Amino acid sequence: MIKDIIKVVKQSNHVLLAAHENPDGDAIGSLAGMANICDYFNVAYTLMVERIPDEYVFLMGNRPIHSTWDKAYDTFISLDCGDVYRLGFAKKYFEKAQTTINIDHHETNNHFATYNYVEKDASSTSELIFNMIEEANIPLTENIAKAIYSGIVTDTGGFMHSCTKPSTHLAVSKILGIPFDFSEVYYQLIHQKTEKTVLLQGIAMHHLTKLSDGKIFLSYISHEDLESQHATREDASSIVTHIKNIKGCEIAALVYPNKEPSSYKVSLRCNAPYNVAEIASVFGGGGHIRAAGATIKGELQEVIETLKSTLSAL
């Protein structure tokens, strides 16, 4: 499959590259990595992203991003996206492409493209992009190294999660052969938090609820909480990991505002043997066994009670 995808990319006239809505480090890392592959083959491409989160801007350099496109293209590559609906605004461009490619590692991926390079046991989509770079004999550069390293570090939680495999460390060992300040990148992605995120963490701890004798911890951030700190939903997105770090916590859940009115994002994390991808699927979401998410429509208290009921039944 890798060879087939490389061949398609090389023969394309213009490629649209997109990832899931509200992109994380792996989504941006794999987008940047795929852009570098297109650069190497001198294939024209356009990055379809509404906004790059501030902490990942350094991966894109001066590459322009677009949220609309009215010119010709023949190939669409979806990266780090479990299904076509997670493409958000870019879904309509996917549906009009002559050829579609799906590169992903989510447990719930449903192989929605013409070509599907889906490895559900992979650490990250960025590691799959690294495999493509290896297969195509593309020389590693500082830009490629930063992109792939960032994606891997983000989705493995700094090489902590069970998705970290020997292949992951082998890829990183080759990446670290390229001189760049990997320790600074690691610190920025794993440890560094904005002041607003730290303040929201305190609010989330105040809202914390224990379920199932303390094995499950649920919290929320309201619209009012965001407004009080002049924060955005992106400032709240990583707080679920903070909740998961509580001793004795087996499942962590965080509810916080989505972009649309009366709609909330639910982020879930867990330890074995639990499977939060299955929990997320109840609400039309998905992700990985140990890290998943969904969107639930309704008012905040309704969403919280619905989630409580589902989690308490485990």
DSSP 71-111: S---EEEEES-SSGGGGGGGHHHHHH-SEEEEEE--TT---
Domain that holds residue 113: 2-191
- Asked if 208 and 100 sit in the same domain, the reply is no
Q: What is the pTM of this model?
A: 0.90
pLDDT tens digits, one per residue of 128-175: 999 999 999 999 999 999 999 999 999 999 998 888 999 999 999 999
Average pLDDT value for the chain: 94
One domain for residues 8 and 136: yes
The pLDDT of residue 108 is above 90: no
Q: Are residues 241 and 127 in the same domain?
A: no
> Are 101 and 155 contained in the same domain?
yes
| Calpha distance 48→46 (Å, rounded) | 6
The CATH number for 264's domain is 3.10.310.30
Tell me, yes or no, whether 140 and 231 share the same domain.
no
Final residue belonging to a domain, choices 152, 171, 191: 191
Do 203 and 279 lie in one domain? The reply is: yes
Instruction: Report whether pLDDT(54) > 90.
Output: no
| Domains held by the chain: number | 2
Strands (E), the chain: 14-19, 44-48, 65-66, 75-79, 99-104, 115-118, 209-211, 216-220, 251-257, 263-270, 286-287, 291-297
Asked which of 142, 161, 191 is the last residue of a domain, the reply is 191
Best-predicted range by mean pLDDT (12-16, 240-244, 293-297): 12-16
Amino acid 3: pLDDT: 96
Same domain as 91, residue 27: yes
Tell me, yes or no, whether 171 and 38 share the same domain.
yes
With a pLDDT cut of 90, the percent of the chain lying above it is 87
Backbone angles phi, psi at 276, to 5 degrees: -75, -15
Please check whether residues 122 and 140 belong to one and the same domain.
yes
Q: 27 with 89: CB under 8 angstroms?
A: no
CATH number at residue 118: 3.90.1640.10
Q: Same domain, yes or no, for 165 and 262?
A: no
At residue 140, the pLDDT reads 96
Q: What is the pLDDT of residues 59-79, one digit of tens each?
A: 998 899 999 999 999 999 999
Q: Where does a domain end: 169, 191, 213?
A: 191
